Amino acid sequence: MTAKDEQPWRRLGLTDEEYRRITAALGREPNLIELNIYSVMWSEHCSYKHSRDLLRLLPSEGPQVLQGPGENAGVVDLGDGWAAAFKIESHNHPTAVEPFQGAATGAGGIIRDIVAMGARPVALLGSLRFGPPGERRSRYLFERATAGLAWYGRETGIPVAGGELYFEECYRGNPLVNVLCVGLLPAGRVMRGRAAGEGNLVLLAGARTGRDGIHGVTFASDELTAEVEEEERPPVQVGDAELGKALIEATLEVIEKGLAVGVQDLGGAGLSCALTETAARAGSGIEVELARVPLREEGMAAHEILTSESQERMLLVVTPQSETVAAAAFEKRGLFCTTLGRVTGDGLVTVKHHGEVVARVPAQSVVDGAPVYRPASREPKYYRELAGFDLLSLPPVEDFNRAFLKVFSSPELAGRACSDESGDAAAEEGLLADFDRADAALLQPGLAMAVAGNGRQVYLDPYRGSLFAVAAAARRLACVGALPLGITDGLNFGNPEKPEIFWQFRRSVEGIAAACRALELPVVGGNVSFYNEVAGEAIYPTPVVGAVGLLDEPGRWCGTGFRREQDLIYLLGAPEASLGGSQFLKYVHGKVAGVLPPIDLELEKRLQELLRRLIREELLGSAHNVADGGLAVALAESSLRGECGAEVTLPESSSPETALFGEGPSRVVVSVKPGPGRARFEELAGEAAVPAVLLGRTGGKSLRIAAGEAARIDLPLGQLQKVCGEAVPWRSR
């Protein structure tokens, strides 16, 4: 190893050029503690140095936006004096190392982000991806991660209302755990993470600080190794849901009493992040004494205290007059609350340890001074090769029942039905519907939330696949009758320093931006997770879009299940789809290839507006987004969820396989009661210029689908239910 490799900044993940920027900002050489602060804050996880430039493409403003990107979470106005705070975050690398704690602390971290805005968390959604389910390691990661997410939600009283689950080869060593949290707050009481008011006090509240998670953000800003379990265990944080619940209640009490000037979650980079970000946002400085930090381990060095990511901690800024009352809110719940220091006016974060100044850094340079990289971008070779795959070369299906069961029993579909670790979420107070009953989770005040994202589609076409993700998330809300108010995005990609990976990222962000502009959806916050690779092999590019909306009419919403006999079944929206990138192509023919169908964003917008009007006028018995598996799977899911069969004849298509299993955007299956409601339904669809194709009727205890003379599916609902129970082996034991 050369002397250059031994340079301390290099060991901390900083480049020589970044080190020069730091010395220029300080006007001197930094000491090791200051280098640690810059190292964690200039990591990809905190500084977004490879993504910041492109993220500016995303629209973030709108009349309903009370807080956009740049704070702990975004906030949108719900009307009637209420607002919703929401955000999505990833915890991928920690989950690969210790799945239970990785997922649990991912939930804990996003919950605290919501609380820091002054909102009471009301629901969680998970967007999870793992390797092939037949492998022992994938089974372990899945079971432990879902258990960790469910445990933290259950112990804090926040229901996990559903989400999405995928199993793909590319996630074998690098699982994805993205968690969305939504909270409610008075619209006039949005709290922000700002250290405002010279002379105000800086409080650290919650659990003791230990060595868990030290340099966790730099760990999350690098590729995983094949030996990650043994090599990288120290960065994984450890959660305590009981303390997390107490911290939620204490923090909200302080905010509700008007005692807090600013509140900041302690997550990635720990105190280093909380101190510098709150000071930078307010244009102020902070002076603290680390010896006052309650520790749970002896002999912790100053840099360890500053970079520890121990969970269940909050930083609060209060006036001197509020100090005693604010501290009491935490202490009466068995939590620590200590005054670390005060707000200053010099713009510097000054850190003392036992009275000695060990670091003094300009807050703005730490938070905003990281370089902005614009990596090379190159279209991957595979892109055009896979797009050129001839779908007409596929052998025709001889047994459509068998083909359907192969698709329907795929782990992406059956695994969701069998994943019951979240418990009886629908029984939670205030939760009207979870993903077992509707395309979006629905909460008591009419607040709806959904997630969408298909990495396989984005791999085949990053731009169009990302358009699909935004449209699908918003469409899920429309299927329950909700108007989307904003989105949050979790962007999961490989190493951005590789031109092919950055091309995927760039095209994906451009697609999200285009869809958001067309659908008038502001992006109020999100998360970028790079370096999701193992031994140089990247995951599929996986943007996950979380959307939050509000019912047009409180109390009027729509589920996915066929609930009545003899209702008419219609396909609303785009009549055509494609087998490119479909479940059918993967699970029947073992291929991931093909071209995704186009999307008409004007039709998409009209379809969503029509759905909301139909539900507002109570014309629909059910509404279900057509997604993975195509029309045949959507019909099966609606039949199972309502315990009512269906008999339909599909319109002509390029092939019966495409008619049954083709996937594409802007398609929803609805059921309508015969009689006067049918005429009104068709009238409104015509006015909206949204195609409405009559497919058949609900009824019986079987699913019968005809797609031409020889293409028929005829299966009893009992058999479909059994397939769901047996498709994922470890769930049926």
- Catalytic annotation, residues: 45, 91
Task: Specify the DSSP class assigned to residue 296.
Answer: S
DSSP classification of residue 651 = P
DSSP code of residue 311:
S
Spatial contact of 544 and 489, defined as CB atoms under 8 Å apart: yes
Could you tell me which residues come within 8 angstroms of residue 629 by beta carbon, excluding any fewer than 6 positions away?
A: 407, 408, 410, 413, 582, 583, 584, 661, 663
**H-only helix segments in 347-408:** 363-368, 381-387, 400-408
Q: Which residues make beta-bridge pairs with 450?
A: 547
Compute the distance between CA of residue 218 and CA of residue 10 in angstroms, rounded to an integer.
Answer: 12
Contacts for 317 with CB less than 8 Å, ≥ 6 apart: 194, 195, 196, 197, 200, 201, 202, 203, 260, 261, 262, 263, 278, 343
Query: Pseudo-torsion of CA 669, 671, 675, 676, nearest 10°?
Result: -70
Considering only the C-alpha atoms of the chain, give the largest distance between any 2 of them, rounded to a whole number of Å: 85
Q: Are the C-beta atoms of residues 629 and 635 closer than 8 Å to each other?
A: no
Could you give the 3-state DSSP secondary structure of residue 163?
strand
Q: How many angstroms separate the CA atoms of 148 and 237, rounded? A: 13
Cβ proximity of 296 and 212 under 8 Å: no
* Phi/psi-derived region of residue 446, left when phi > 0, alpha when psi is between -120 and 50, beta in every other case: left
Q: CA 618, CA 437: separation in Å to the nearest integer?
A: 17
Q: Give yes or no for a contact between 189 and 166, defined as CB atoms under 8 angstroms apart.
A: no
Residue 485 corresponds to which tokens in the numbers above? 């108010």
Q: What is the C-alpha to C-alpha distance for residues 513 and 357, in angstroms, rounded to an integer?
A: 45
Residue given tokens 């640690």 in the structure block = 36
Return the number of other C-beta atoms located less than 10 Å from residue 549's C-beta: 31
Packed helices 676-687 and 601-616: angle between N→C axes, nearest 10 degrees:
150
| 207-218 core/surface letters (b: 16 or more CB in 10 A; e: else) | bebbbbbbbbbb
The DSSP secondary structure of 495-557, one letter per residue, reads -TTSHHHHHHHHHHHHHHHHHHHHHT--EEEEEEE---EETTEEPPPEEEEEEEEEESSTT--
| CB-based contacts of 388-392 (< 8 A; 24+ apart in sequence) | 389/580, 389/591, 389/593, 389/594, 391/578, 391/579, 391/580, 391/585, 391/594
Supply 406's token pair.
């192969």
CB neighbourhood size of 321 (10 A)? 10
Give Rg (Cα) of the chain: 26
* CA torsion, ordered 139, 141, 145, 147, to nearest 10 deg: 40
